[in-house]
Amino acid sequence: MLPLEQQPDRLTDMKLRNYLTKCGTFLLLLLCLEADLFAQKKFAVNQSTMSFTSDAELELIRASSENVQGLINPETNQFAFIVSVKSFEGFNSALQREHFNDKYLESEKFPLARFTGKIIEPVPFTADGTYDVRAKGELDIHGQKQSRIIKAQLVIKDGVIRIHSRFLVPLSDHNISIPTIVSQKIASEIEVEFQATLSLQSL
């Protein structure tokens, strides 16, 4: 039998979830930290919700995931967030979710969505307060990377960060094609809302 890494197309959803649980945090560290990988504590996601809304002429579609993983390095302002495409639930029917995974996002081929980069503004992570910031980085969806600057609000209290962000994702930016027959049921721009709570951890 081939090793797991040589048969990615055969990963079941359960195997993918287990893989993310075991390896996701370490992979994120490699993305968002500098050479001194374990020198400092990092803010890691404890709870999260990412939802998207497609508000088209003939249909409103909503789905969400509570499986976003992520880290922020307070020393460098670097960050990385990652979510399994298959973890989104909701939709208006089981068939709609199936089409989302199989026809549009092609989640077997592109199982993860990522946003990695750096917060532009200096943030006093040790000081309680509310901070409006811009996150600059690469948004990777459907295997297509786009450079983005996304606004977010950080609320810091007692060493815990609460993030809230809302932004638009044009489907054309990520090579997601919508057949003409359903073009009035799926919006060309999808609204994404992200909320998460992070705490300082030794990783």
Map out the domains of the chain with their CATH numbers: 38-201 (2.40.128.110)
Structure token pair of residue 23? 């390896």
Q: CA-CA-CA-CA torsion for 137, 103, 27, 155, nearest 10 degrees? A: 50
Is residue 14 over pLDDT 60? Answer: no
Exposed, middle or buried, 38 (CB in 10 Å: 0-12/13-18/19+)?
A: exposed
Q: Is residue 20 over pLDDT 90?
A: no
* Mean pLDDT value across residues 153-163: 97
pTM of the model: 0.82
